[in-house]
Structure formats: structure tokens, C-alpha cells
């Protein structure tokens, strides 16, 4: 699989591509599904999970599917109710070490069997050359939702807990890691070819706090999930200030947001990991020739990496024109072609 090979730094025939949030509201067929059911109902129905996962691959020549779910799905299984209104809302946030200790450690098959079934069915239906990606939120990012009770601008509750009671906060992260590691392992057992750990809010920390809290918690998940031939991708949104630390996550491939210069990031990461990214999602709104230029420049920069998976630097925006996605995927594959010497053939 081209995608797995790039993640592991093996030769590829061209640059693989998939897009964060490639299943979602910019697709008319996704909006049609959502007219009948809520987002949570979709996530919990294996038939709908399979359908939503495969929708973008019917339209575009993507190298990977990502299982349709949400990072907050295992939170419910930990005993904390989650609503989507449509933004996530957790009416009973976790604000103390006692509450953190009482978080349930779910049984992935019993409590989130709908997801594992969805993965097994997608893997059967998918072209063998395309990878299926499983995923989970990183402990710090999940902690922000648990502690804030939803999204946040300044993460006041989380960051004040962290400074008041650093050991208690580390205990919360450890508890979340103990839930997330088996959840990701179960996804691999069910048929996922790779997993991505999303640390969407870790870029909001000082570099020291990132190294003290977010990174070790992510690493503890990654080391328990690592398996021969199954790449782990670690995506930190807003990673510019901690680029040199990312390799210590132990991930095979580092997902980069659109605020970092890809060439610079590759120079700093060197041969220690592959990279994934990092087109600005808004570039998909550019005139086609301009979009092609932006894509080509990232594909060229990516050649210096151990391996490069093309992606956006964050999720697809819901108003994105389908023609932009079409142009992007085509241009990545056209521009990314390696000569025989490079592929070792
Ligand atoms: O990438 C994919 O196509 C797979 C599915 C996926 C979703 N969420 C579906 C979704 C993935 C990988 C996620 C991850 C996720 N969810 C993250 C990390 C990635 C990132 O964005 O940095 C985060 C922070 C969340 C939490 C979340 N879920 C928010 C903040 C929202 C509301 C905002 C929004 O975009 O509507 C969601 C809902 C959500 N997750 C939707 C989808 C398709 C929209 C639900 C709908 O149909 O109304």
C-alpha cells in the first residue's frame, strides 16, 4: 500500500494522499445521509459508518480511507455523556482527581463494537491497494474536552488544573491513555492498516508544558499500539514551537498543520520519521492553477522527507468545492511520480 509505505519510509511510485475530514458535510451524499439521522446515530450504526467512510473514495482517487467516527466516541464509553449540538458538549465535565480516577476503562469490543464492526466491513469492501486508517484523540486533547465540558478558546479549566495540581492532571492523562491504547489496538485487530492520534489542542501549550504533559501521554499510547508494519501517525495542530520534540512521540509519521513550513520541518525531523501534510484547507478555494501551484510546491518539498503523505494541514472546511478536492488529488499523484531509480525498480 502506497500510503503505508510512505509512512514507514519505504519507496513509493508516487506521493499518497488523503484528507483529514474527507468524510463530512462538504459531500452532498453525506448531507443526504445526515438528513435522516443525527451525527451520533451515524457513528453508532456500522452500516452508516461503512457508507460514510467509503463516500469520499467513490468520488476521489484517495490512497486511504479514515474510519467514520469522532475522537469523543470513546469518552462516552468512559462514562461521560457527550452531545453534538452540533459542537461537542459534555454536560458533566471532569474537574477533580477523584472524578478522573472514576473514569471507566472501556472494553473496546463490548462498548464500541459498532466501530470495530465498521472497520472490519470497510476493510473487506476496500480496494486492497487503499489503506484504512483508525484513529483516536490524544490524551491531552481528550482531556481538554473532558475538563472544559466542550470546546474552548483559552482552555481555562484545563490549564489552571495543570498549574495547580500537575500530578493530578498527569493522573488524568494517564487514565485517558489507559482507555485509548486498547481502543486503538482493537481497531488494528479489526483491520485498520494504520492509526492516527489527533492532538488538536496540544499546540496551545507552552513548549515546556507540551513536553511535560501532552507528549509523554501521547507517547505512552503510541508505544502500546505500535506493531510491525502498522504505522502510527501523530498529528499536533500548532506544532511550530515543538517541531524538534515530535520525533520523541515514537510515531512513524508526523502530521503537520498548515502553519509550519514543510521544507523546514523536514530538515529538522531528518530521517527520523515520515511527514504528513500540510496544505492550508482554504487553498481548496483558490483558482485551479493557483491550487495546482501550491500542491506542486508541497509535493516537491516532500521529496526531501524520509516519506511524505500529502494531506491538508487541518480538516476539510464544510463549504469546500468538490472540484478543488478533485484537482488536489490529481495534482499530487501527477507531481509526485518517482523515477525508477528512486523506487528501486
Ligand atoms: O476525518 C474524517 O473524515 C473521519 C471522521 C472524523 C470526524 N471527526 C467526523 C466528524 C475525525 C477524524 C474527527 C476528529 C475530531 N473530532 C477532532 C480532531 C481533528 C481536528 O479537527 O483537529 C476533533 C477536535 C473532533 C471534535 C469535533 N467533532 C468537533 C469540534 C465537531 C464539531 C465541529 C464540526 O466540524 O462540526 C465534531 C463533529 C464532527 N466530527 C462532524 C464530523 C463529520 C460533523 C458532524 C455533523 O455531521 O454535523
Q: Is the pTM of this model over 0.85?
A: yes
Q: Which of 62, 64, 52, 61 is nearest to 27 (CA)?
A: 52
Assess whether 34 carries a catalytic annotation.
Answer: yes
Probe target for ligand 1 pocket from 34, 70, 136, with the most ligand atoms within 8 Å of CB: 70
Number of domains observed in the structure of the chain: 1
Assess whether 70 carries a catalytic annotation.
Answer: yes
User: What are phi and psi for residue 26, nearest 5 degrees?
Assistant: -75, -15
**Ligand 1 atom with the shortest distance to the CA of 23:** 3
Confidence of residue 341 (pLDDT cuts 50, 70, 90): low
Ligand 1 centroid to residue 21 C-alpha, Å? 7
Percentage with pLDDT > 70 across the chain: 98
Asked if residues 15 and 299 have their Cβ atoms less than 8 Å apart, the reply is yes
- What whole-number distance in Å separates Cα of residue 202 and Cα of residue 138? 9
pLDDT digits (tens, 9 = 90+) for 134-190: 999 999 999 999 999 999 999 999 999 999 999 999 999 999 999 999 999 999 999
- Is pLDDT above 60 for 345? no
pLDDT digits (tens, 9 = 90+) for 84-97: 999 999 999 999 99
**Ligand 1 atom with the shortest distance to the CA of 42:** 47
Expressed as residue numbers, the domain containing 100 is 2-343
- What whole-number distance in Å separates Cα of residue 229 and Cα of residue 239? 26
- What whole-number distance in Å separates Cα of residue 201 and Cα of residue 207? 13
Asked if residues 32 and 5 have their Cβ atoms less than 8 Å apart, the reply is no
Assess whether 13 carries a catalytic annotation.
Answer: no
CATH of the domain at 175: 3.20.20.210
Asked if residues 251 and 235 have their Cβ atoms less than 8 Å apart, the reply is no
Cβ atoms within 10 Å of 11's Cβ, excluding its own: 13
Which residues contact ligand 1 via a Cβ below 6 A? 20-25, 34, 39, 66, 68-72, 84, 86-88, 135, 151, 198, 200, 237, 315
Ligand 1 centroid to residue 196 C-alpha, Å? 14
Burial letters 89-106, b for 16+ CB under 10 A, else e: bbeebbbebebbeebeeb
Ligand 1 centroid to residue 345 C-alpha, Å? 40
- Please report the sign of the dihedral spanned by the C-alpha atoms of residue 294, residue 296, residue 298, residue 300: negative
Assess whether 159 carries a catalytic annotation.
Answer: no
Residue having the nearest C-alpha atom to atom 8 of ligand 1: 70
- Is pLDDT above 80 for 262? yes
pLDDT of 29 reads 98
Confidence of residue 339 (pLDDT cuts 50, 70, 90): confident
Instruction: Give helix 156-164 / helix 139-148 axis angle, nearest 10°.
Output: 110
Percentage with pLDDT > 90 across the chain: 98
- How many CA atoms lie within 13 Å of 314's alpha carbon, on the beta-carbon side? 17
- What whole-number distance in Å separates Cα of residue 180 and Cα of residue 202? 17
Ligand 1 centroid to residue 72 C-alpha, Å? 9
Q: Which of 88, 44, 206 is nearest to 140 (CA)?
A: 206
Amino acid at each position: 500500500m502506497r500510503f503505508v509505505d510512505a509512512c514507514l519510509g519505504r519507496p513509493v511510485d508516487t506521493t499518497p494522499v488523503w484528507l483529514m475530514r474527507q468524510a463530512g458535510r462538504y459531500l452532498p451524499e453525506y448531507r443526504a445521509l445526515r438528513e435522516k439521522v443525527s451525527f451520533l446515530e451515524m457513528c453508532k450504526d456500522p452500516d452508516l459508518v461503512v457508507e460514510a467512510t467509503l463516500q469520499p473514495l467513490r468520488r476521489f482517487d484517495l490512497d486511504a480511507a479514515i474510519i467514520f467516527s469522532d475522537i469523543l466516541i470513546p469518552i462516552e464509553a468512559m462514562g461521560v455523556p457527550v452531545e453534538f449540538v452540533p459542537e461537542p458538549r459534555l454536560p458533566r465535565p471532569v474537574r477533580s482527581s477523584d472524578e478522573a480516577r472514576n473514569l471507566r476503562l472501556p472494553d473496546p469490543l463490548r462498548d464500541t463494537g459498532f466501530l470495530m464492526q465498521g472497520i472490519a466491513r470497510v476493510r473487506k469492501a476496500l480496494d486492497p491497494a487503499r489503506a484504512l486508517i483508525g484513529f483516536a484523540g490524544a490524551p491531552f486533547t481528550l482531556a481538554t474536552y473532558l475538563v472544559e465540558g466542550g470546546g474552548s478558546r483559552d482552555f481555562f479549566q484545563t490549564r489552571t488544573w495543570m498549574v495547580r495540581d500537575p500530578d493530578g492532571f498527569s493522573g488524568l492523562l494517564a487514565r485517558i491513555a489507559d482507555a485509548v491504547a486498547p481502543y486503538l489496538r482493537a481497531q488494528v485487530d479489526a483491520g485498520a492498516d494504520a492509526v492516527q492520534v489527533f492532538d488538536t489542542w496540544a499546540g496551545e501549550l507552552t513548549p515546556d508544558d507540551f513536553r511535560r504533559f501532552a507528549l509523554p501521554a501521547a507517547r505512552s499510547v503510541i508505544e502500546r499500539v505500535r506493531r510491525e508494519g502498522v504505522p502510527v501517525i501523530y498529528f499536533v495542530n500548532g506544532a511550530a514551537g515543538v517541531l524538534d520534540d515530535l520525533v520523541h512521540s515514537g510515531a512513524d509519521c508526523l502530521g503537520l498543520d498548515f502553519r509550519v513550513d514543510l521544507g523546514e520541518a523536514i530538515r529538522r525531523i531528518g530521517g527520523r520519521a515520515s511527514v504528513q501534510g500540510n496544505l492550508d484547507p482554504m487553498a481548496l478555494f483558490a483558482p485551479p492553477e493557483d491550487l495546482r501551484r501550491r500542491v506542486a510546491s508541497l509535493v516537491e518539498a516532500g521529496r526531501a522527507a524520509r516519506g511524505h503523505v500529502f494531506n491538508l494541514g487541518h480538516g476539510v472546511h464544510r463549504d469546500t468545492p468538490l472540484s478543488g478536492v478533485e484537482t488536489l488529488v490529481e495534482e499530487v499523484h501527477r507531481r509526485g511520480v518517482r523515477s525508477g531509480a528512486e523506487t528501486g525498480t
